[in-house]
Amino acid sequence: MATLRFSAAARCAAKHRLLAPVLLLLLITSCAPPSTLPTDLRSTSSAPSRQPGGTPPATALTDPAVPTLRSLAQAKGRYVGAAVDPRPLLGEPLYAETLAREFNMVTPENALKFGRTQPSRDRYTFRDADAIVAFARANGMAVRGHTLVWHVVLPRWLTGGAFTREELLAILRAHIATVAGRYRGQIAAWDVVNEALGNDGSWRDTIWYKTIGPEYVDLAFRWAREADPQARLFYNDYDCEGLGSKSDAVYELVKGLRQRGVPIDGVGLHMHVRIDASPEPAEVAANLQRLAALGLEVHITEMDVRIDGAVTEGKLARQASIYKDMLRVCLAAENCRAFVLWGFTDRHSWIPSYFRGWGAALPFDEAYRPKPAYRALMEALSTP
Ligand code: G3I
C-alpha cells in the first residue's frame, strides 16, 4: 500500500523532470494527496493510558537487503530518530539521503519553537517546519513536534510585553491551537512542555510560571489535546534520565498530571551526555520502569555524547559503548518507543558552539561516514 502510494506520487513528480533527490522528495509530497500520510501518523490514539505505541512507518527508499538503523528499529517496532535542520536538509544531498536511509522519525531541531513560528504577534511562519514535515511525509517518517511551551526562543514581543495572567493564557492557548492545529494528524508526538523544572528539580522561574503559575503545564496539555487529538503528548526535560533529585521531581510532576487527568502520554528524556559522565544504565532502566508504572511511554529525545579535545580511538570506543548501553536499556523497556538523536552527523551539531572544546557527539562524522557509535547502535538493534 505504502509502495503504491509512493509510486503514484513519484509518477506525478517525474512529470516535473527533477533530478535532485531532495527536490524530488519535496515534489512528491506536494503531489501527494492528504490521504497519503504515513499510516502511523493517522493511527496514533489520544487515549493517555492505552498500550504504549504507534507503529513505525514502513521503510521507504531503502534497499531492504542492507540493514540500517531504520530497518532494524522498524523490525523491532521502535522509532529511531534525529533532530534536523532545514538548511542542510534542502542543501546537502548526503544529509537528506543519510537521514531518510537511517531514521524513521525526525524532530525539527528549531523550526517549531515559539520564536520561530510566531516571531510577531499573531503572525505565524511555518516555512521551515513545513519543509521538514514534507520531507518526513515523502519518506514515510514520523515527526516529533518540538516544542510548544519553553522559556527559550521566545520573541521579544512576548518577553517584553508585560502581559497579565489572562493575556498570557490567551496568547499561549492561541499559540498551541495554531501550531499544533496546523499539523493536526501529522505529528506522532509533541513535546508539549519543555524543561519546566530547574536543575535542582524546583519550578523554573520562567515567564510562564511567574505569570500563570504551575497550572500552565496542565492547561498546555489540555489545549494540545484539543488541537491535535491524535498526537501523543510528552513532557520533555534533561538531566533526569537516571535516578536523582531532578528525575524524582520530573516523576512527581508527571504523576500529578496523571492523577489530575491531564492528557499526558509520555516523558521525553533528553540524554545530552559526555563520554566521561553518563547515567548508569541500571538507573535509566529503573526510571523507565517507574514511568511505565504510571502508564507513561518514554522517548529518548535528544541524545548525543560529546567528546572533549582531540578525538581518539579510545574516546570513540567509549562514546560507542554509551550509545549502545542506552539503546539497549531503551529496547529492553516495553514503554521506551523512540530513540532520537540530537542530529546525526558531526557536521551539524549544536555542541561545538555551546561547549567550547567539545564536539564529535554524533554517530556519523563530518563526511557522513559511520563512526564506531553507529556500529554500536546497529549491534544493539541486531540483538534479538
Ligand atoms: O539561524 C540563525 C542564523 O541565521 C544566525 O546566523 C546564527 C548566528 O548565531 O544563529 C542561528 O540561530 C541559531 C540556531 O540555533 C540555529 O543554528 C541560534 O543562534 C541558536 O541559539 C540556536 O540554538 C539552538 C538552541 O536549542 C536554542 O534554541 C540549538 O540549535 C538547538 O540544538 C538547541 O536545542 C535544545 C532543545 O531545543 C531543547 N533541549 C536542549 C537542546 C540543546 O540546547
Per-residue pLDDT, 9: 34
Assess whether pLDDT exceeds 50 at residue 292.
yes
Choice among 1-5, 235-239, 320-324, 372-376 with the minimum mean pLDDT: 1-5
Question: Quick one: pLDDT band at residue 54, thresholds 50, 70, 90?
Answer: low
Which one, of 244, 371, 247, lies nearest residue 304 by Cα?
371
What is the rounded average pLDDT for all residues in the chain? 88
More reliable by pLDDT, 189 or 15: 189
CA dihedral (54, 58, 60, 65) positive or negative: positive
Distance 342 CA to ligand 1 centre (A): 12
Nearest CA residue ID for atom 13, ligand 1:
110
Per-residue pLDDT, 65: 81
List pLDDT tens digits, range 277-289. 999 999 999 999 9
Location of C-alpha cell 487527568: 261
What is the mean pLDDT of the segment spanning 70-76?
97
> Which residues, judged by CB distance below 6 Å to any ligand atom, belong to the binding site of ligand 1?
109-110, 113, 152-153, 194, 270, 302, 350
Can you read off the three cell numbers belonging to residue 144? 516529533
Per-residue pLDDT, 62: 55
Assess whether pLDDT exceeds 90 at residue 23.
no
The percentage of the chain sitting over the pLDDT mark of 90, rounded to a whole number, equals: 83
Assess whether pLDDT exceeds 50 at residue 212.
yes
Distance 98 CA to ligand 1 centre (A): 22
Distance 198 CA to ligand 1 centre (A): 20
Q: What is d(CA 285, CA 79) in angstroms, rounded to the nearest whole number?
A: 18
What is the 8-class DSSP label of residue 35?
Answer: G
Assess whether pLDDT exceeds 80 at residue 25.
no
Instruction: Looking at the CA of residue 343, tell me the nearest atom of ligand 1.
Output: 32
Residues recognised as catalytic:
195, 302
Instruction: Looking at the CA of residue 354, tell me the nearest atom of ligand 1.
Output: 43
